[in-house]
Amino acid sequence: MAGPEKVIITCAVTGAIHTPSMSPHLPVTATEIADAAIGAAEAGAAIVHLHARDPETGRPDQTPEAFSPFLQVIKQRSDCVINITTGGGPAMTIEERVKPAATFAPEVASLNMGSMNFGLFPMLNRFKTFKHDWERQQLESSRSYVFKNTFADIEYILTTCAENNTRFEFECYDISHLYNLAHFLDRGIVKTPLFVQSVFGILGGIGPHPEDVLHMKRTADRLFGTSYRWSVLGAGRNQLPIAAMSAAMGANVRVGLEDSLWLGKGRLAESNAAQVKAARQIIEGLGREVATPDEAREILQLKGGDQVNF
């Protein structure tokens, strides 16, 4: 049995926030994404959270055809839990965003729990040159971009995936997102145990201060009691400090190149596995143990890797 001391590490392998010009280590092709996910799992990640990219430009690609090649490879080579994004990328419709999860029926899919400003433009202060036109455009456009996740959008994803028995990583970027989740719980549209992923440090969401972390935890405790499993991710340079602080409070942890390119001040992480190893060192230094994929399945009450459509 997986006890409360077990910590689930999720690794977000690649995503829509960072662009290929920002780091040579960011996985882009299907082979790179598969190898990165398997490396993260071997380093201790029980769950891998996956986006897809156009192999030529690195632009986010939410077509099932972009996911299929690496999903099959990861399943063949690893027992890790596969988590498919429904966040997608800027300008995608909700129908486009949910299609991979609806098609492949993964054990876990991410679900953003509210609309918000999502400011990536401060990255332009650090990164000046780009290989592809879309990269600068995406960062600049975030000054006026609202990441749309209405109640109708959220319910659409939940109902579209309901028959798949996929559980969700509920991504909560602010306190209001916890209340949005409580609304769906009250209506019986989501089921416990809830896997709540608190996100800290995105411009437009809650900040990375210790008081913010405590506020998020206190609110979730009050709303959900013992009916949820808490996980955290810190964006950018906040990744490992948030992991350390929250792991000491009993949280599960998410790391990965989707959320941060760094492994220390001015030091690019050379792989997702390197970030997983750093998080694992923190967790084990606190006297806690890292959960295996099967222990994560037990803790989150997942359906099992044999019940997916890939």
Percent of the chain at pLDDT > 70 equals: 99
pLDDT single digits (tens) 1-48: 454 579 999 999 999 999 999 999 999 999 999 999 999 999 999 999
Task: Tell whether the model's pLDDT for residue 72 goes beyond 70.
Answer: yes
Angstrom CA distances, 301 to 2, 142, 165, 270, stand at 11, 37, 11, 33
pLDDT single digits (tens) 122-169: 999 999 999 999 999 999 999 999 999 999 999 999 999 999 999 999
- Mutual angle of helices 30-43 and 64-77, in 10-degree steps: 40
- Domains and their CATH numbers in the chain: 6-307 (3.20.20.70)
The pLDDT, as a whole number, for residue 80 is 98
Task: Tell whether the model's pLDDT for residue 91 goes beyond 90.
Answer: no
Angstrom CA distances, 228 to 23, 197, 215, 299, stand at 35, 10, 16, 10
Would strands 262-264 and 267-268 be described as parallel, antiparallel, or unpaired?
Answer: antiparallel
pLDDT single digits (tens) 252-292: 999 999 999 999 999 999 999 999 999 999 999 999 999 99
Question: What is the pTM (predicted TM-score) of this model?
Answer: 0.97
